[in-house]
């Protein structure tokens, strides 16, 4: 993974994203292979690697008995930030998370979005070289999710290297410089969102709706014409429709053209739908 980028691990629940994060942080032992993080072998030098990483877990594990500032100060101590630098480190983390006005608030007084921002700030208090975000916006409403997207985008702008697991397509498309598509514990494709779309599904798709027998006929006709398709419940999408001749599209019937998406890529490669 190159330094200074956001790499998104994209996949549904159970794909192996959180397991990958646990192996990278030494919480789960890999059954085979090897892992190098920032030049350290996780099997024998996990303590050195963890000291240079910031970890933002999927589950809220903030200390509810402490204030926002105290949570950050505690981690500054745990990460051995020098005593003379701790105040500035906490102030910087509060600024990144936009929580300076809530420094004296107890964790129980924070909204869900504020708690997630505090979790991210806590993972940044020691200025890590690598930040691991395990589904950072899971369970949050769209407005709060967009606030956190701005925070993550600011980290990238500062040159921080970020490994982010997610099962939100839009999150990967907006934030990730590089995307690794995961399914059943394996990476099945990797590249920029643009390159993945160009390689696997093209620029445009045409969506068709109707009863199952009509969708089955359209799928059969599209495949006979050499076009890949994607089934999505009450519809079927014909991919790379920009490559189809006018006659072929006319034979398929009335359809709705749309831009191809990263979700098309995922479903085509894995057969799974992200929710």
- By C-alpha distance, which of 131, 151, 129 is closest to 140? 151
Confidence of residue 12 (pLDDT cuts 50, 70, 90): confident
67 secondary structure, DSSP code = B
269 secondary structure, DSSP code = H
Return the minimum-mean-pLDDT range out of 44-53, 54-63, 247-256. Answer: 247-256
Distance CA 50, CA 27 (A): 11
* pLDDT, tens digit (0-9, with 9 covering 90-100), for 136-150: 888 888 888 888 888
Q: What is the pLDDT of residue 107?
A: 95
Which residue is listed with tokens 């979005």?
Answer: 113
Which residue is listed with tokens 């409403």?
Answer: 141
Confidence of residue 272 (pLDDT cuts 50, 70, 90): low
* pLDDT, tens digit (0-9, with 9 covering 90-100), for 171-198: 999 899 999 999 888 999 999 999 999 9
Residue-range domains of the chain with CATH: 6-196 (3.40.50.300), 202-259 (3.30.70)
Which strand ranges, in their side-by-side order, compose the sheet holding 256-259? 229-232, 235-239, 204-209, 256-259
Q: What is the pLDDT of residue 62?
A: 94
Q: What is the pLDDT of residue 102?
A: 96
Q: What is the pLDDT of residue 208?
A: 92
Distance CA 40, CA 251 (A): 58
Percent residues over pLDDT 90 in the chain:
57
Q: What is the pLDDT of residue 232?
A: 77
Q: What is the pLDDT of residue 193?
A: 94
| Parallel, antiparallel or unpaired: strands 229-232 and 36-37 | unpaired
Q: How many residues does the chain have?
A: 275
* pLDDT, tens digit (0-9, with 9 covering 90-100), for 80-118: 999 999 999 999 999 988 999 999 999 999 998 899 999
């Amino acid at each position: 993974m190159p330094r200074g980028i956001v790499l998104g691990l994209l996949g549904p629940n159970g794909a192996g994203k959180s397991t990958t994060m646990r192996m990278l942080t030494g919480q789960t032992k890999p059954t085979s292979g090897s892992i190098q993080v920032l030049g350290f072998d996780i099997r024998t030098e996990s303590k050195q690697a963890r000291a240079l990483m910031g970890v933002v877990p999927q589950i809220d594990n903030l200390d509810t008995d402490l204030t926002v500032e105290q949570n950050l100060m505690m981690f500054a101590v745990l990460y051995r930030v020098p005593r003379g630098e701790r105040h500035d480190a906490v102030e910087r983390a509060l600024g990144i998370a936009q929580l300076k006005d809530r420094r004296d608030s107890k964790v129980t007084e924070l909204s869900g979005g504020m708690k997630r921002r505090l979790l991210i700030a806590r993972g940044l208090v020691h200025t890590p070289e690598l930040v691991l975000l395990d589904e950072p916006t899971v369970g949050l409403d769209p407005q709060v999710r967009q606030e956190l997207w701005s925070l993550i985008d600011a980290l990238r702008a500062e040159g921080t290297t970020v490994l982010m697991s997610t099962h939100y397509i839009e999150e990967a498309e907006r934030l990730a410089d590089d995307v690794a598509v995961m399914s059943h514990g394996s990476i099945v494709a990797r590249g920029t969102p643009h390159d993945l779309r160009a390689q696997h599904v093209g620029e445009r798709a045409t969506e068709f709706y109707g009863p199952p027998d009509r969708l089955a006929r359209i799928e059969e006709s599209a495949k006979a014409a050499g076009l890949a398709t994607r089934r999505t419940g009450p519809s079927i999408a014909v991919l790379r429709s920009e490559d189809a001749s006018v006659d072929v599209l006319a034979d398929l019937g009335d359809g709705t053209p749309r831009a191809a998406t990263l979700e098309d890529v995922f479903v085509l490669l894995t057969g799974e739908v992200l929710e």
